[in-house]
Every structure is written in C-alpha cells, then in structure tokens.
Structure 1
Amino acid sequence: MKGRQIILDHLNGREAAALMVDGKLHDFLIDNDAPRPGSIYRAIADRPVKGQGGMFLSTPDGNVFLRQVKGLSPGQPLLVQVTGYAEDGKAIPVTQKVLFKSRYAIVTPDSPGLNVSRSIKDDELRDTLKGIAHGVMQEGDMGLILRSCCTAEEVDEIAEDIASMEDMAAAIMSETTGPAEKLSDGDGPHVLAWREWIEPAEVVTDPGSFDTHGVLDALDDLSNPRVQLSGGAFMYVEPTRALVAVDVNTGRDTSPAASLQANLAAARDLPRQLRMRGLGGQITIDVAPLAKKDRPVFESTLRSALKVDGIETVLVGWTPLGHFELQRKRDRLPFEST
C-alpha cells in the first residue's frame, strides 16, 4: 500500500504503534514494564560514585544514576528526568535538565527565551509563531522551543499545546520538597506516535489492525538477524552482550561495484533496523571490502540516514581492522526483550 499509515493497536496486551511507509514497516513502538524515558521523579540523593562523577538516587522505582552532581549531598531531594533505558545490571540514567515535550512545543524550565526551530525558514511564519508564544507564555524563568512541525494552519492547536505544557511544567517544578515520588510518567507509544511521527499519514485505530495491515508479518522479520538489501546484498544485525555487530555481504554479485553498492545499501537501511530492533550502545560495522577512497561516500550516506533517524548517534570512525564504529543512545529496549 502506498503512502504513510500510523497504526495504533495492542500487541500481547501492551500498547503499541507502527509506522508503515509504502507498505514497509518504518518504525515500531511498544510499551514495557521499565520506567519510560521522559518520566519525572522527585528523587533523594543516596550515595556518590567515586571516580565516575555521579551519584545514585532513590526513587519509588529503584535506584537511578545521575552524572555531574557537584554540590549535591546525601538526603537532598531533587527533580530528575529519565533519559533512556538502563543496560543490564545498571541503574536508570537521569538528568536534572527537565524538559516538557509535546508535538508542537518544548518547555524548558530554568532556560528562559522563546525560540523557533531553525528548520522553519519562512520569516512570516516565524514571526507568527513568536507572536503566539508571547501571547500564551507567562513571564518567568521558563523558556520555550517551537518545533519544526508548527504551521500557520494550526495556530489554535499550537497555543493550546504551549499552555498545556507550561501548566504541567509549573505544577511539577514546584514539587521540590518531600519524599521520593514519581511526578509524571513518560509518554506511551500512542502519544509518542502523535508527538514524533509528524508527517501527514492515515491513522488507523481499529482493533486487530496490526494483523490486517501487515505489521505482524513485518515484526516476524525483526526476529531474524539477516536483513535483505537491494541488489542481492544482505547484512546481519546481531546484538551481543558487549556490542551490536553488523556484517555486510555482497551476496552472489562479484562485480567491481558490488561491495560499494552493498555498503551504501546497508548504510541507508541500518538506522531503521537499529531503531525498530531497539538496539543501541556500541555498534561495529564489518563492511564488505571497501577501498579507502570510497570510505567518505559511505560515511556521508550513513550520516545522512542518521540525520533523519531521530536517535542520538555518534559516528566514531574507522578501526585499524577496517571496521566502522558508532555509539548510539539507548532510548528503547531491545525488541526481543519486549
């Protein structure tokens, strides 16, 4: 099926959302039992970790870990926000830089200033959005960022979104004293789909839509480490305890251009595969044989694919063995575990 579809359903009793583009699974979100990224706690400082510049904090959902804790003392309450999922055996990562993020607006406590996304180039629209922001936001220490999806046709929705986020921020940021408590839960898959999948799409909410729209078949493919690429090439995406290994192969094509084409196809599809499979941390790509003069085009293709991916990923570079390494934020749990 051509076009974009956002399919909201449940899988094994868990809320889930799928983004299909031209009949192909482009993204998938599913709820789990771990604290959601974006959750806000009033946590209690527990004990510092010498040598790591961090401190364990106590919350109703267990210990969390905060970096850069200069000036904190055990027993002190503070507001923190979950930034991602914890690795096995480690505490949940949190930050003191709390953000209140919605579809159109991001409210930034303690960071004053009204800003519009740089991707909005139309000066008239930028002026309109700034006027909306000034008309809604109260004077104070809170700042605002208007996101790239804001349009002139959605003035009322934008104003309502700003007001809602500002009210929530004011209420939560005032909860600075008291015992450890969860003050706000992170967004679930259905809200995340509305918030992040902003391009026009058909929204399907009928029960059983995952089955009728081919989502279940696409999810079966995620259980297979082998990923078919264009031109007969393929790659394996296999998580280990230490890292994610990606092995690119040309298949039966033995032409001089086969290796470069296989590597470029892998670079274009790898961000989607990592995103849907919920894989992060250290990623090592064993490319098909690639001449050093072709490395820049591979890096450029991968960088372009990651730019629209939305998950923070650092291109580390080439190793002496000719592997290419990435460092990717863990903002989802592995698909197999959910």
Structure 2
Amino acid sequence: MNGRQVLLDHIGQREAAALMVDGLLHDLLIDGDAPRPGTVYRAVTDRPVPGQGGIFLKTPDGAAYLRGVKGIGAGETLQVQVTGYAEPGKAIPVTHKLLFKSRYAIVTPDAPGLNLSRSIKDDDVRDTLMEIAHDAMAGSDMGLILRSVAADAAPDDIAEDVAAMRSLAEEVAADAGSGPEVLLEGDGPHVLAWRDWVAPADVVTQAGCFEDQGVLDAVDAACGARQILPGGASLFIEQTRALVAVDVNTGADGSFAAGLRANLACARALPAALRVRGLGGQITIDLAPMPKKERRSFEAALRAALRDDDVDTVMAGWTPLGHFELQRKRARLPLAEVMA
C-alpha cells in the first residue's frame, strides 16, 4: 500500500505502534518491561562517583545514574527523568532537567522563556503562536517550546495542549514527598505515535490490524540479521555486548560501482533498520569496498537520512581500517529482547 499508515495494536500483551511507509515498516514502538523514557522519579542520592562527575540514585525501579552534577551528597532528594534505556547490567540513565512533552508543546521547568521551533518561518504564524504561548503560560516561571507541528494546528488545540503540559509540570514540581517514588510514567507506544508521528497518515486502530497490514511479517523479518537492499545488495545487522556490527554486501553485482551503490543504499536504509530493531550505542559499519574519494558521498547520504531520524545519532567518522562509526542514543528497547 502506498502512503503512510500509523497502526495501533498489540503484539502479544504488549502495546505497540507501527509506522508503515509505502508498505514498508518505517518505525516500530513496543512497550517493554524497563522504565519508559520520560518517566519522572523522586529519587534519593546514593553514591557519588567524583571521577566521572556523576552520582548513583535510588529509584523504585532500581539504581539510576545522573551525570554532570556537583555539590550533591548522599541522602538528598531529587526529581529526575529517564532519558533512555540502560545497557544490560547498568543503571537507568536520568537527567535532572525535566521536559514535559506533548504533540504541540514542550514545557521546560528549568529553562524559562517562550520559544518556537526554528522550522516555523512564517512571521504571521509565529506572531499568532507567540500570542497563544503568552496567554497559556501567563503567571508561570516555566519555559515553553511550541513544536513545528503547531504551525498547522487549531489555536484551541494548541492552547489545550499547553495547558495540560503546564498543569502536569506544576503538579510534579509541587511534590514535597520523601523517599523514592514514580511521579510520572513515561508515554506508551500509542501516545508516542500520536505525539511524534505528526506527518499526515491514515490511522488504523482496529484490533488485529498488525496481522492484516503485514506488520507482524515485517517484525519477524526484522528479528533476523539480514536486510535486503534495493539493487540486490544486503545488510547484516548483529548486536554484541560491546557494539552493533553492520556488514554491507554487494550481492551478485560485480560491476566497478557495486560497492558505492551498496553503501549508498545502506546509508539510506540504516536509520530505519536501527529504529525498527531498537538498536543504539556504538554502531560500526563494515562497508563494501569503494574508492576513498567516494567516502564523502556516503557521508552525505547518511547525514541526509539521519536528518529525518528522531533518535539522536552522532557520526563519529572513519576508523583506520576503513569502518564507519556512529554513536546512537539507546532510545528503544532491542526488538530481539522484547520479542524473546
């Protein structure tokens, strides 16, 4: 099927959301057992790690680790927010800079000021949105960012969204309890799909739609290491404890430009392949052979593909052996782990 589809269903007992683009699985969100990103804790400081500039915290879900803090001793109470999923055997990553994020608005308690997405260029639209922001945040010391999708939204919908996030932020900020506690659960897949997949799409919510629309078959394929690329090339994506290894193969193409074609196809397909598989951390790509002068072409294609990716990824560059490395936020649970 051509076009974009957002499908909301369950895989087993787990809530899940899938984004299909022209019949291909473009993104996948599945609820797991780990604390969701966005969860807010009242945490108690435990053990400083001075050499690393961080501190371990006690939370209801186990140990958490907070970076970049100074002057905090053991036994203090902090509000922190989960930023991603922990590596196996490691503490939950958290930040003390809370964000309350919805479809149109992000309330920032620790960053005062009213701001609009830079992608909103129309001056009249910006003026209208700033009026809404001033009215909705009147009397508050908290900050607000209106997201790019607000440019095409109804003013009442934006105001309602801002009011809801402001109320939620104020409720959390007013907490005066003691001891580890969950103050706010992070959003599940269905809410995340509504919040972040904002491009026009057909939304399907009927039970069993994953099977009817081929999502389950695509998930089964993503659980394997091999992914076919256009032109007959392929990727093998395999997770180890230390890193994610990506191997690019040219297939049956024996022409001089086969390596470059395969590598460019890899660049275009890799962000979605990693999203669907829920893979992050250090990514090492063993590319097909190509002339060194073509490396810039590969980098440009990969940079363009990552521009449309909502998972923070750093292009670390080339290794002496000619591999290309990425550092990617652990924003999803690994698909193989969730489906086990």
Tell me if TM exceeds 0.5.
Answer: yes
What CA RMSD, in Å, does the superposition of the two structures yield over aligned residues? Answer: 0.9
Structure 1 residues 294-323: Cα deviation after superposition (integer angstroms, max 9, x where no partner):
001100110110111110000000011000
Structure 1 residue 153: Cα displacement: 4.3
Measure how far apart 1:176 and its partner are: 4.4
Q: List, as ranges, runs of 4+ consecutive aligned residues in structure 1 with deviation greater than 3 Å.
A: none
Aligned to 1:132: 132
Whether 1:251 aligns to 2:251 is yes
Partner of 1:119, secondary structure, is coil
Counterpart of 1:231? 231
Aligned equivalents of 1:151, 1:324: Cα separation in 2: 37
Query: Do 1:79 and 1:176's aligned partners in 2 also have CA atoms closer than 8 Å?
Result: no
Other-structure match for 1:325: 325
Which amino acid letter does the alignment assign opposite residue 207 of structure 2? P
**How many Å separate the matches in 2 of 1:298 and 1:320?**
17
Seq. identity, %: 64
Contact 2:64 2:92 in 1 (8 A): yes
Q: Does the aligned pair in 2 maintain the 1:128–1:152 contact within 8 Å?
A: no
Equivalent residues in 2 for 1:280-299, closer than 5 Å:
280-299=280-299
User: Are 2:193 and 1:193 equivalent residues in the alignment?
Assistant: yes
Q: Partner of 1:72 in structure 2?
A: 72
Tell me, yes or no, if structure 1 residue 45 matches structure 2 residue 23.
no
Contact kept in structure 1, 2:230 and 2:265, CA below 8 Å: yes
CA contact (8 A) 1:4 1:22 kept: yes
Partner of 1:334: 334
Query: How far does residue 53 in structure 1 lie from its aligned partner after superposition?
Result: 1.4
TM-score in terms of structure 2 length: 0.98
The letter of the residue matching 2:235 is: M
CA distance in structure 1 between the partners assigned to 2:153 and 2:81 by the alignment:
33
| Number of residues of Structure 1 aligned to a counterpart in Structure 2 | 338
Aligned to 1:168: 168
* CA 1:190–1:295: 2 relative to 1, 3 Å: same
Partner of 1:303: 303
Q: Partner amino acid for 2:14?
A: R
Give, in whole Å, the separation in 2 of the partners of 1:49 and 1:85.
20
**Scaled by the length of structure 1, what TM-score is found?**
0.98
Unaligned ranges ≥5, structure 2: none
Question: In 2 relative to 1, CA 223–110 (structure 1 residues): closer, same or farther, beyond 3 Å?
Answer: closer
2:55–2:69 CA contact under 8 A, matched in 1: yes
Contact 2:83–2:95 (Cα < 8 Å) also in 1: yes
Question: SS at the partner of 2:149?
Answer: coil
| 1:120-154: CA deviation from partner (whole Å, max 9, x where unpaired) | 11111111110111111123320000001113442
- 1:143-170: CA deviations, max 9, x gaps? 0000011134421111000000001001
Q: State whether residues 9 and 209 of structure 1, in contact with CA within 8 Å, keep that contact through their aligned partners in structure 2.
A: yes
Shift of 1:291: 1.1
Structure 1 residue 266 corresponds to structure 2 residue 266:
yes
Q: In the alignment, is the contact (CA less than 8 A) between 2:248 and 2:285 conserved in 1?
A: yes
Deviations 1:51-90 (A, max 9, x none): 2111110111111001122011111001000000000110
Code of the aligned partner of 1:323: H
- Secondary structure of 1:149's aligned partner: helix
Q: What's the CA shift string for 1:198-227, capped at 9, x where partnerless?
A: 001111111111110110111111121111
